[in-house]
Amino acid sequence: MTLSGGKTPELDALKKVRLAGRLGGRKLFSHQEQDIRESIQAGRRTAKQCGRLFGAHPSTVARLLQRGLAAVTQPVAEAHPGTTQSFGL
């Protein structure tokens, strides 16, 4: 589909996104991010399958998983700053 100027709506949308400071196309919605995390953690899908299903690059899925892991581990580190656990080994 082209408009009178020969530009496609997709190119116009990408131009607006780049002007807003983002490099890629669309972002995943929060419910999609949650579904990706849950599917991978439960073993229902691989990261590659989730990427294909939601149209996300594999590195996007990897960053999403890293952010989820950081959100889980960071509060523990903040609760006990400067301490390390000793397991008596």
pLDDT digits (tens, 9 = 90+) for 12-61: 777 776 776 665 556 788 888 899 999 999 999 999 999 999 888 888 99
Average pLDDT over residues 59-72: 82
The 10 Å Cβ neighbour count of residue 50 is 24
Comparing 23 with 62, the larger pLDDT belongs to: 62
CATH for 28-71 is: 1.10.10
Listed by start position, the domains of the chain span 28-71
What radius of gyration, in Å, describes the C-alpha atoms of the chain? 20
Residue with tokens 């196309």: 25
Q: What pTM value is reported for the model?
A: 0.52
- 50 Cβ neighbours under 8 A, 6+ residues apart: 36, 39, 40, 56, 61
